[in-house]
Amino acid sequence: MRQTIYILDFGSQYTQLIARRVRENKVFSKIIPFNTPAKEIAALNPKGLILSGGPASVTQKKSPLPDKGIFKLGIPILGVCYGMQVITEMLGGKVKNTKSREFGKAELFIDDNHDLFSHMPGNFTCWASHGDYISKLPQGFRTSAHTMNAPMAAVSNRQRKIYGVQFHPEVTHTDKGNQIIGNFLFKICGCFSRWTMQSFVKEIIENIKKTAGNDKVVLGLSGGVDSSVAAILLHRAIGKNVRCIFIDNGLLRKDEPQQIKNVFRDMYHLNLDYVDRSKRFLTRLKGITDPEEKRKIIGDEFVKIFEEEADKVRGVKFLAQGTLYPDVIESISPTGAPSSKIKSHHNVGGLPAHMKLKLIEPLRDLFKDEVRAIGRELSLPDAIIMRQPFPGPGLSIRIIGEITPERLELLREVDQRVFDEIKKAGLYEQIWQSFAILLPIKSVGVMGDERTYENVVAIRCVTSLDGMTADWVRLPYEIMEKISNRIINEVKGVNRVVYDISSKPPATIEWE
C-alpha cells in the first residue's frame, strides 16, 4: 500500500511547494481541504499530516480551523507557520498579534536537536512570514528553536508526535528546509523513499486497465507533454482500445502536424485520427480581432469537432484527459465547499454533458516536472518531453488583430527562426517560452532607393517555474542579432524586430 502524507490546505501560496518537497523525498503527498473531517482522514490511513501556512490569523474570529479530532488520531503532525499557530491555539496555548511582523530571512537558533532538527548545525537561515507569535505553549510542548524576534520559532511534543515551525521549510530561502521535511518524514512518520516514477508508471497502467477494462477510450492529443504522456500510458495499458484524436485547427507552428503524426502514428503506432479542420476554424475567425472572442470561437469549434469525431468511435465509454495536479488543486477552494468543481482541462475544452463519457485522468496526481519524468521513463523523445508550453488557441493570440492565412504563414516562418537560434544556442530547455508575435502595425523601411512599409514582429523569451510569474530572458546580444538578421533577411514582409523586456506581473506571458 502506498505511503501518503496529507497536507491540510489553509490557503498558503506555498502549499503546493510543501507537496513538492515531500515528493522530492520520494514519499507521495496529497493536498486536502483544511476542514476535512477527522473520520475521513483516518480512512485515508496517512503516515502523517502537515498543516500548511495561510493568510488568516487565529486571533481573529471565524479563522479557519481543522477538525479537532485530528489530534486524537495518533498520526504525526507538523504545523507550518499558521499551521503551528492552529496547533497552539487548539491544544490550549496562546497566540498573540505582534506589531513587529517578521518577514524575510531570519537566523534560526536550535534549542533541541532531536527529531525535526536532528543532525543539523546550531543555527542557520530560515524564511519567516508571520505577524502573530506564540505567547504560551500548550501543555506537554517545549521550544525546539528560536529567532531574535520569535522566542518560540519551533515547538514539539515528542510523546504525541506533534511539531510546529514558525517559518517555511518548504521554500528554498530556508537553508536546511528539505532536511527538516525529511526528518519529519523518516524519523517521525517512519516513511520510506519508495515513491518513484518507475513504480508510479506501473501503478497508473494497472489503474487504467482496471478502470477501462475492454471498453474504448478517446483522448484529445495536442502534442504537448501532458496529452502525449497520457496517450502513451493509455496505449501501454489498453493498446488499440484508445483512440487519439488530433485536431489541426490551422493555428499550429510550422511542420507541427506532420511531426505529431510521425511520432505517434509511425514511431509509437498509436491509433491516431488526424483531423484537418483548419479551413473551418479560419472561416469562423475571419474578421475577428478581439482576443477573447478568438478564444471563445476556437474553444467552441474544438468542442464541436471533437464531439463529432468521438461519436464516430463505436462503443466508446471513456474520455481521457491530461489533467495535472495543479489543475485539480486550483479548482478546489481550501474550504472544500460543495460548490467546488474540477475544471475541464484545456486539451478538450470542456465537453458537452450529453456525451455521457466517464473520465480517465492518469496524470491528475502529478506536477509538470513529474510528468516529464514519466515521459523519460516511457522513452518519449526530448522534443516532446521538453516542449515549451504552447497556448490552446495557438498562433491566433500571437497575431494581434485579424487572422488570415497569409499572416499565419508569415508568423510561422518568423517563429521557426526564433526556435532555430534558441536551439542552436542551447537555451531552449532553460527558457520557459520563446516565441514571436506579429504586431498590427507597419513600419517604414528602405529597400535601395525606395521607401517600404512592412510588418513588425516582437520576440518574447521568458523564464518561469509554473507560468504564474515570469521574467524576461537577458538574451546575449549576439543571439538577438542572429535572430533579427535571419528574420529580416529571410522572411519576406518583415523589416523590423523588437524584443519584449516586460515581466509578469504586470504583463502576461502572451500578448493576448
Q: Cite the active site residues.
A: 81, 168, 170
Name which of 475, 478, 465, 479 is nearest 509 in CA terms: 465
Q: Show the DSSP H helices in 351-401 as ranges.
A: 368-377, 382-385
Q: Show the DSSP H helices in 185-311 as ranges.
A: 197-212, 225-238, 256-261, 278-285, 291-311
Q: Cα 56 to chain center, whole Å? A: 25
Residue 33, C-alpha cell as written in the block: 481541504
Q: Show the DSSP H helices in 67-112 as ranges.
A: 82-90
Q: Which amino acid is at 284?
A: R
Which residues make Cβ contacts (< 8 Å) with residue 189, sequence separation at least 6? Answer: 5, 47, 48, 76
173-189 in b/e burial notation, b at 16+ Cβ within 10 A? bbbbbbbbbbbbbeebb
Half-sphere exposure of 100 (CA within 13 A, CB side): 3
Q: Residues 252, 281: contact at Cβ < 8 Å?
A: no
Q: How many helices (H) and strands (E) does the chain have?
A: 14, 18
| Helix H or strand E encompassing 483 | helix 477-490
| Helix H or strand E encompassing 477 | helix 477-490
Which residues make Cβ contacts (< 8 Å) with residue 17, sequence separation at least 6? Answer: 170, 171
Q: Residues 16, 334: contact at Cβ < 8 Å?
A: no
Residue 411 — φ and ψ, nearest 5°? -65, -35
Q: Show the DSSP H helices in 316-403 as ranges.
A: 325-330, 368-377, 382-385
C-beta pairs of 35-38 under 8 Å, 24+ apart in sequence: 35/64, 35/65, 35/66, 35/67, 35/335, 35/336, 36/8, 36/66, 36/67, 36/336, 37/67, 37/69, 38/67, 38/68, 38/69, 38/70, 38/72, 38/73
Whole-number Å distance between alpha carbons of 265 and 246: 11
Q: Residues 368, 210: contact at Cβ < 8 Å?
A: no
Whole-number Å distance between alpha carbons of 229 and 378: 8
Whole-number Å distance between alpha carbons of 19 and 29: 6
Q: Cα 142 to chain center, whole Å? A: 38
